[in-house]
């Protein structure tokens, strides 16, 4: 069947858009200083991803019930629901684009699909995205835009993340992301709420429990050994404020805020023990050996396989002598 893709100049407005992804914390040839992801006038063009296995080609469309990501859904009910959703969408698109009316319950469903067959290379090979600094509006009521939305959600375009949250979580930041306004705002607001909660806890510690503030700072900061008992509280406060905002040793503001809150929620005994073990490792009071276990450097006592094991070991009243010895050696540095 022959078909024609027609481009129009109609200006679309839709709650679903493809936008440039910007993260001011990442170096991007100086563009981060101007709040930009791309140089003016630059566009990125990409065709729909096509995976080849021998003589078999498979486009990443999000509308193929035979794709591995659908077949491998472990829950039968969820898999059947996904297949039904795919068939419903394909049937609607076939009716609009090819005047082909289909029954999604028909056992010969895919044999009767004429345009959106998974092996129709003539059709899928013409699906592409061209993105720049200006947002691309995608209208789900437009059949070709709907196809692109499904493809983006399935990972069919490497330059476009399927959501703002997906873009943030990737190790290598994408150039663009699919912005569903409500989802993006929810994600951004969630991060702000988390950081505000952490900042409130920071203020509470500063006002009422500066001893715990010191231990929290030593635990969450990679360079926690720098903090001593004589470190001014204002320094601890300022450094933790920077840390919570993702501008310290942890560059993800959400992870930083959550780790700060997790530390604040520890009881004082566990918190102090974790800090003692962390600093004892730094000052080589306890050491890891070739067998993969951690030992007391001077006494040679086996303490555990990791720092969590060591904390539990030191909580045991039977090991009070070793705890006292390690604490004295660590606190010597804290008091210096």
Tell me: the pLDDT tens digits for 127-156? 999 998 888 899 888 999 999 999 999 999
Predicted pLDDT of residue 9: 43
Predicted pLDDT of residue 251: 77
Name the more confident of 166 and 81. Answer: 81
pLDDT greater than 80 at residue 186: no
pTM to 2 decimal places: 0.54
Predicted pLDDT of residue 28: 67
Predicted pLDDT of residue 322: 93
Backbone angles phi, psi at 188, to 5 degrees: -65, -40
The rounded mean pLDDT for the chain is 87
Long-range (24+ apart) CB contacts under 8 A made by 238-242 are 240/202, 240/213, 240/216, 241/199, 241/202
pLDDT greater than 80 at residue 25: no
Name the more confident of 39 and 258. Answer: 258
Cβ atoms of residues 332 and 324 within 8 Å = no
Average pLDDT over residues 99-104: 94
Which two tokens mark 64?
Answer: 């193929």
pLDDT confidence tier of residue 11, bands split at 50, 70 and 90: very low
Which two tokens mark 105?
Answer: 């319950």
Model confidence pLDDT, tens digit, residues 293-316: 999 988 888 999 999 899 999 999
pLDDT confidence tier of residue 32, bands split at 50, 70 and 90: low
pLDDT confidence tier of residue 39, bands split at 50, 70 and 90: confident
Predicted pLDDT of residue 253: 82
Which two tokens mark 113?
Answer: 């699909």
């Amino acid at each position: 069947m022959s078909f024609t893709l027609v481009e129009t100049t109609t200006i679309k407005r839709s709650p679903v858009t493809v936008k440039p992804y910007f993260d001011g914390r990442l170096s991007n040839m100086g563009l981060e200083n101007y709040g930009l992801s791309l140089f003016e006038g630059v566009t990125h063009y990409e065709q729909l991803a096509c995976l080849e296995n021998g003589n078999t080609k498979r486009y990443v469309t999000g509308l193929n019930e035979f794709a591995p990501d659908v077949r491998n859904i472990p829950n039968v009910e969820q898999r059947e629901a996904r297949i039904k959703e795919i068939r419903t969408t394909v049937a609607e698109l076939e009716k609009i684009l090819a005047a082909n009316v289909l029954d999604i319950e028909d056992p010969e469903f895919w044999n009767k699909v004429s345009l959106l067959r998974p092996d129709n290379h003539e059709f899928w090979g013409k699906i592409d995205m061209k993105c720049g600094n200006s947002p691309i509006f995608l209208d789900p009521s437009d059949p070709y835009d709907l196809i692109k939305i499904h493809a983006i959600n399935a990972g069919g375009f490497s330059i476009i993340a399927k959501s703002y949250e997906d873009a943030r979580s990737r190790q290598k930041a994408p150039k663009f992301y699919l912005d569903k306004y409500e989802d993006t705002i929810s994600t951004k607001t969630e991060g702000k709420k988390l950081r505000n909660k952490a900042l409130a806890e920071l203020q509470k510690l500063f006002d009422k429990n500066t001893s715990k503030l010191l231990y929290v700072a030593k635990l969450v900061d990679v360079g926690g050994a720098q903090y001593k008992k004589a470190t001014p509280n204002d320094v601890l406060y300022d450094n933790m404020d920077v840390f919570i905002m993702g501008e310290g040793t942890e560059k993800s503001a959400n992870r930083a805020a959550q780790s700060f809150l997790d530390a604040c929620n520890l009881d004082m005994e566990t918190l102090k023990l974790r800090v003692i073990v962390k600093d004892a490792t730094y000052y080589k009071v306890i050491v890891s050996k070739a067998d993969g276990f951690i030992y007391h450097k001077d006494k040679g006592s086996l303490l555990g396989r990791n720092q969590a094991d060591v904390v539990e070991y030191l909580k045991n009243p039977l090991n009070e002598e070793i705890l006292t010895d390690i604490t004295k050696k660590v606190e010597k540095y804290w008091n210096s």
